[in-house]
Amino acid sequence: MVSSTPNWHKSSYSSGGANDCVEVATNTPRVLVRDTKLSASPVIDASPAAWVSLVEFAKRSNS
């Protein structure tokens, strides 16, 4: 469901450490990313296609 109110969740790629977490909201028209410990911090705003490209790049770079 698409919403104008972000539903934030911790990224599955966050290590769980106190300083290594990001939150992602995918229930909005754009994919939003923010720092977990700074909820009022600036938000990265990406198109769904750009987000998929970034995740695919990260997967390739990590293997």
In contact, 37 and 47? CB cutoff 8 Å: no
Q: What is the pTM of this model?
A: 0.72
Answer whether residue 33 is part of any domain: yes
Q: What is the pLDDT of residues 22-31, one digit of tens each?
A: 888 988 899 9
| Domains contained in the chain, number | 1
Other Cβ atoms closer than 10 A to 35: 15
Task: Please report, for the chain, how many H helices and E strands are present, in that order.
Answer: 1, 4
Q: pLDDT band for 19, please (50, 70, 90 cuts).
A: low
pLDDT higher than 70, residue 57: yes
Within a domain: 50: yes
pLDDT higher at 6 or 21: 6
Q: Which residue has the higher pLDDT, 49 or 55?
A: 49
> Does residue 34 lie in a domain region?
yes
Per-residue pLDDT at 58 exceeds 90: no
Q: Is 10 inside any structural domain?
A: no
